[in-house]
Chains A and B, each alone.
Chain A
Amino acid sequence: MNLWPRLPLPFAARQAEALAGRTLEDLEAQPWDSAELKRFAPTGGNPVPNAILRRLRDGLSLRAKEAGFPDLRSRHRAKFDDAARRFLLAFDIPFGEAIRAETWAWLAVHLVPHLVAWRFPERDGRQSVERYAGKLYRNAIGRLWYQATQLDLGTSAQDRLSHLSVLGEDQLVALFERPSLGAAPGVAQTVARMWHGLRPADRDEALFRESMKLLLVQARICRLDVLGQDDLDAIVRRSMQVTAERMGLPAQWDAGRRH
């Protein structure tokens, strides 16, 4: 198994702060392949070869360019997110390495800082440090891998990430920053499928946010993971329905979809 380089989060945060003010070109030209910059788990495999890291870097950079990189005014950053999720899903990063925030901290700070700086530009001369050195679900690149992995419908599906077409950034945050919901693929996928089944006009951002809060409360008293699919569907749908009623919003599901 390949071991991926890691960067401790406090150190990554410090290095991310030091990136402030540098141009995208400068960041892109930064060397990343020196052994000194890499720390690996002491056992369990071999350090990932530079060729694989380069392939990852090139693949992500290509998708960013297709989405408008290096234009900081690009309105297509969501396009990068979508393409990068699919690329990362197909890329063979061992789960046990990719689930660590430190792995993505290394990638963000050393391998693709130019993409992080482009995707989350500085505000008032300050870097968004958590996008380099935060938790997995806040890391600019790591969160895309996590979302894709948890919502992956498998190789037999026509589109493995079809649910992502209806989940915007706001919904993904509401779902994956709550491990009670996002950490179990079955639960996350059920939420996504129910949302997908809702009539497009009824997919209100506030409805999603509030229904996730209600579902989170439900998850404290009802172990969602043990439910059969029909029961899980029912509880997720009910959370959305009850929330919609409270907010005075419509919530109807398309008849043609399984939901």
Chain B
Amino acid sequence: MTWALDHAADLSRKAAARLAEGRPDVAAAMFVRAFDTLESPGARIPGSEDLRLRILEGLHAATAKTGDPSALVPRLAMMATAAVRLAFVPSLVRKLAVDLARDDGDAVGIYLAALESRRPLDRPTLAAVLRILARALRIRSRSEPEEVQDLVPKIERLLACRPGLDFPRLYLARYHHAVEQWGRARQLLLGIRGPMKTDIKVLNLLGRCAEKLNRPEEAVAAYERSLRQREAQGLIHFRLGRLLLGAR
């Protein structure tokens, strides 16, 4: 263990020297080796967090010069919760979201950690991050629950740190509806306060949950509001007719 710490520290010092010599590509490779010495599977060294954070700072400095953060992102994602307090994170998030539009799992992990940290992001960066998360975490009406269940904890994290957002509520409601937790789905939908409140996707799902929960009048009201938004919805006319008829 001590050997690994000493070895990583030694590599990190040498990498910093290479960076100072103007060889960021070599420095980046050495920082990666240093980090991986401490983070390789099954070999995480206890008490190495400070060193790993210093390595990440060095790796960021090196990749900032090469212009390619691909070596940094997965390593930052590994310890995103701790690493988001590093000074460079907001600028990295901006680069990932605005410049590179990264929506892979590592980038999403960094975005979520950045949002959870409450560190301020500039408006364009925040808008880009939310746009990417809305796409990357999307659960569709027809999504199979087992295919999207890994997204649920991420969406819940997002909703916990940004409770005013509408789309995580809709996505979670779709998931809970799919697994027949209609009460939870309804609760999420009723919590939508923004522009999506009158979206037909929200109203139709709310109507469906109300039907399942034997709240026919609530379902009728939701479907009627939906049809006011868009009249040409055959399925909603059908459901509304069925409800008014009292048929099952």
Specify whether A and B are partners.
no
Residues of A within 8 A of B (CB): none
Residues of B within 8 A of A (CB): none
